[in-house]
Chain A
Amino acid sequence: MERNTMAYKSKQFLMFAGPALILFCMVIIIPFIYGLFLTFTSWDGVSAEKPFVGFANYVSAFKDAYFWSAIGRTIIYSAFAVVFVNVVAFLLAYMVTSGVKGQNFFRAGFFIPNLIGGIVLGYVWKFVFNRAFVAIGEAISGGTVPSLLSTTGGAMFCLILVSVWQYAGYMMLIYVAGFMSVSDSLKEAAMIDGCTPSQAMRNVTIPLMRTSFTTCIFLSITRCFVVYDVNLSLTKGEPFFSSVMAAMHVYNKAFTYKDYGTGQAEALILFIVCAIIGITQVYVSKKGEVEA
């Protein structure tokens, strides 16, 4: 067969990319389009009928004060979690690439939380916050100590803490790759040029790791914006709905309150907010990246 023909190239493309493309369409594209269609219906999630309601669901979503407060809460949670996840991940990566003894052991150890599912992780930490920390607190103070999860600020703090614990190991690996991509000769040149270790880090290492920062910040933003599993198992949105994140609100709207159309519309709005923030961040970060 002629290798330069369009037919040959298409066949070759389909052979390699076809299976993945079909799967991607089946689990992402088609459900997304179908979901988009459902935002224009008043489907309750159960019945066979899907009455067309136009933009009514969007109007209702924009009027839903609980949804917007959940979005606001998610933004606050994401802002703290993204900063702490990346700071902790960067420091861990620095530690495990600085030649410390047993660094491979530490790398594996820090990554393990990422292997545990969010639901399990949430329950484990719930036990820690409700029982272990309370017991320690009571032993020290001698009186009754409330669980951190029982206060509004405390629940948010716990959610951020667990997210940092969960994601930092994964992001650490990306930062490790970033650290290792900066050649030793550049660091040595910086030392000879007169840099102190912190100056070398600030002026040479960090600017050359921008790709890692872009990737990690994007990943952590997108993960935090759609957090659900840890939210469900750790706080269940309590106390007094003070820790209901956007994804949990959308889920409840669609499946608990049987308002699938509005839930789907809110999910789409959440997707757009998340995409705008993520793409803006990648665009801004990419501009400063350099090829080594």
Chain B
Amino acid sequence: MASLSLKHIEKIYENGYHAVHDFNLEVEDKEFIIFVGPSGCGKSTTLRMIAGLEDISEGEFLIDGVKMNDVEPKDRDIAMVFQSYALYPHMTVRDNMGFALKLRNVPKEEIDKKVDEVAKILDLEKLLDRKPKALSGGQRQRVAMGRAIVRNPKVFLMDEPLSNLDAKLRVQMRTEIAKLHERLGTTIIYVTHDQTEAMTLGTRIVVMKDGIVQQINTPEHLYNKPCNLFVAGFIGSPQMNFLDAVVEVKGNDAFLHIGDDVLKMPADKAKILKDGGYDGKTVVFGIRPEHFGDGRGQEGKQNTLKCKVEVRELLGAEVFLYGDINGKQCTARVDPEVDLVNGMEATYSVDMRKIQLFDKETEKSLLWAV
């Protein structure tokens, strides 16, 4: 088990493409770190630099204080689970799992013992003599995990390991991975573009965009205190609603004008707007779908937003109401008993403690720093 340190890591390809900018991260022993972001944000490139599959253009990468920049992948004591699983098709499951140990000249009896132990954990005992092509997607995924676990490496690297599985299996394997992390107590770095995986698995999440780290923190922190518009929009499903709002400061009070609706800011947020000189300026108001009230019987009350419901989506335990607030598409997550249907006018109460505010130009949060 190990701690990792990435200091000012840069990745610039030969064609001049700057894939990763000034990446800094300290990973403590047994942490489950998630790199998340849209396609092309540099998350896989960073993981591959940690694995040694890509050169580090600038900066320092250390495992347990030892510089690893020029160390071969095989000598880094890491194991990796690939998106495509990368199982050797000509080897049986047993041979796939024991291959790394065989290369290290571990005696055959010991290899068999370790493979059997891990196969038991992952419920692969009956599949040990099969070849990968005779396995289902979920089984292949478990073999790929097993191959990594058998080695007992310092760090596990996982590059979108669940993206090839169907939705049901993905949820199941997600739980399995969480349990494994708890059981093995290993340092894991996990790449995904799925924010649900990020939220459910990670002890800390690194949100990336265009090769730049946007924010690094716990899932709760990122969800409740996003540092910019991108993080706020990326973390959470359905995503946060964003509306343009004009600020009006009156004495110590501050109000947001969204179309005809007016929201009175709580004292702490009013102070930020006043001190920041936002009076008369337009800011981005953010609110998560679940922080709207149920949209009934709120007419004429303070801190409400009117919305024309366009689509009602029943998911069983909850209902998503998609509609239009001041010309912007918005989503509200409400109770299934709410009887608002397509075409009806809703008036949502707004939980003012949970709202987010962003500078329209810099897109940075007015409420939270990184």
Q: Which A residues lie at the B interface, using CB under 8 A?
A: 183, 185-186, 188-196, 199, 203-204, 207-208, 290-292
Contact = CB atoms under 8 A, between A and B. Distances in A.
A289 to B, nearest CB: 9
Interface in B64-84: 72-74, 78-80, 82-84
B86 A183 contact: yes
Q: Of residues B72, B82, B83, B88, which shows the largest number of chain A Cβ atoms within 10 Å of its Cβ?
A: B88
Nearest to B131: A290
B103 A194 contact: yes
A186 B103 contact: no
B82 A185 contact: yes
A191 B89 contact: no
Given A189-B80, A189-B82, A192-B51, A199 B103 contact: yes
B89 A291 contact: yes
A186 B86 CA distance: 5
Nearest to B76: A192
Contacts of B89: 208, 290-292
Q: Main secondary structure on chain A at its contact with chain B? A: helix
Contacts of B104: 194
Contacts of A192: 51-53, 73-74, 78-80
B84 A183 contact: yes
Contact of A188 (B72, B82, B100): B82
Contacts of B147: 193
6 contacts: A188-B82, A191-B72, A192-B80, A194-B74, A203-B88, A291-B133
Contacts of B82: 185, 188-189
Contacts of A195: 74, 103
The bracket for how many chain B residues form the interface is 20 to 34
A186 B100 CA distance: 13
Nearest to B80: A192
Contact of B90 (A185, A196, A290): A290
A230 to B, nearest CB: 37
B84 A193 contact: no
A191 B74 contact: yes
Contacts of A207: 90
A185 B74 contact: no
Contacts of B52: 191-192
Interface in B81-122: 82-84, 86, 88-90, 99-100, 103-104
Nearest to B159: A185
A204 B99 CA distance: 11
Contacts of A203: 88, 99
A207 to B, nearest CB: 5
Contacts of B99: 193, 203
A282 B114 CA distance: 38
Given A185-B83, A192-B53, A193-B74, 16 more contacts: A183-B84, A185-B86, A188-B53, A188-B73, A191-B53, A191-B73, A192-B52, A192-B73, A192-B78, A193-B99, A193-B103, A195-B103, A199-B103, A203-B88, A203-B99, A208-B88
A196 B147 CA distance: 18
B63 to A, nearest CB: 14
Nearest to A196: B74
Interface in B10-69: 51-53
B88 A204 contact: yes
B74 A189 contact: no
A189 B90 contact: no
A194 B100 contact: yes
A39 to B, nearest CB: 45
A183 B88 CA distance: 10
Nearest to B100: A193
Nearest to A188: B53
A183 B86 CA distance: 8
A203 B90 CA distance: 10
A186 B89 CA distance: 9
Nearest to A208: B90
A186 B144 CA distance: 12
